[in-house]
Amino acid sequence: MTFVSGRVAAVAALATMATVGLANPAAASQPVSVSCGQVITASTTLNGDVGPCPDNGIVIGANDVTLNLHGHRIFGTPAPGDGAGVLVSARTGVRVENGAVSDFDGGIVIQGGKANTVRKIVASDNIGSSGGPAPATLYGDGILLEGSIDNVIVDNVTNDNGPFSGIGLIQVPDSDHTFPAQPTTGNLIARNTVTDNIACRTGPFCDNDGIRVEPQVAGNAIVDNQVTGNGLDGISLFVDSDNNVVAKNTVDNNGFNGAVPGDGIRVFASRNLIDRNSVRDNAAGGVSVGRRSISPPGSLPSGPTGNPRGKDNRIIGNLTGGNGVDLYDSNPGCDSNVWSDNIFQTARPACTTG
């Protein structure tokens, strides 16, 4: 797992956008036409596809708004710099549902605010740039939560997004600073299908985790997701992403298309619960806990002995098999990590056997 301390920041002002407001909530049941870049301020149901959009698809401009795609697609362009398919910035109680978002830098992007819901969205081919020949972009995920609280991300499909993740949870300092700073916590990521996120438009790195929890993102639940075929780690908890629950996920065949071989579930952080997941046939570790990786490609992770992270985790009741190593802890003697009641074929060191 390659560690990146922060995303490449490229803050750009949003383009001037028209505003759409429906007269009353009942009007939302009547599908309407929406154009690229519009700001909606009342509940809206689409009557057709929206795109190609060069600078954001639809922007939510009020609280307690439902955007029902009604089976339609919002789509961007093949080039980087087209922003978010649906941008929800500093909003509360917003719902985005029932359709597809593709070909943006980021699919559904929630920045700040709280208690928003994304459900039954197919987010695919949303590919940002981390720099290099093309300018760096703000995003690179199918669904992204940034500095936002108590959101529900449920029953979605994310595939072929990058270079960061299918579903990403990040903290405000990593990217855009145009909304009030707050923790990324209390979020539920459940029953999503997160598959084949290996896309990389351009840039010096291309991580492509399935579900990516970046530094200092704490207190979230990742439950009952199908996470398969992603480029690097299936589910990755970065440094200081503490007190999260990762439970009852199926995490298979990840880690074969990243910068280094990836793990099924990779934990760089502390006090997390990794509980009753099925983790099979991943390139490096099945469930791997430890300090920041400094290993060359093809070798097991290791780290500096003075690094205090990767401790006090509980890894309980997981079903593993067919991974490079099913259970792995790079901390000497597993430190204070608890490994218990896991089913495995291979494990290192002996303290991981419970």
The answer, yes or no, to whether residue 173 has pLDDT greater than 70, is no
pLDDT 10s digits, 120-146: 999 999 998 877 777 788 899 999 999
Peptide bond into 349 cis (omega under 30): yes
CA distances in angstroms from 11 to 19, 81, 174, listed in the order given: 22, 11, 11
pLDDT 10s digits, 241-268: 999 999 999 999 999 988 889 999 999 9
Measured at the CA of 287, the angle between CA 191 and CA 148, to 5 degrees, comes to 45
pLDDT 10s digits, 198-220: 877 666 777 899 999 999 999 99
The answer, yes or no, to whether residue 340 has pLDDT greater than 70, is yes
Instruction: Report the Cα 289 to chain-centroid distance in Å.
Output: 19
Number of residues assigned to the chain: 354
Q: How far apart are the C-alpha atoms of 347 and 15, rounded to whole Å?
A: 53
pLDDT 10s digits, 275-303: 999 999 999 999 999 854 444 444 444 44
Buried b (16+ CB within 10 A) or exposed e, 314-352: bbbebebeebbbbbbbbbeebbebebeebebebbbeebb
pTM flag (> 0.95): no
Task: Quote the pLDDT of residue 132.
Answer: 76
Phi, psi of 100 (to 5 degrees): -125, 145
Of 310, 322, 249, 331, residue with least CA distance to 286? 322
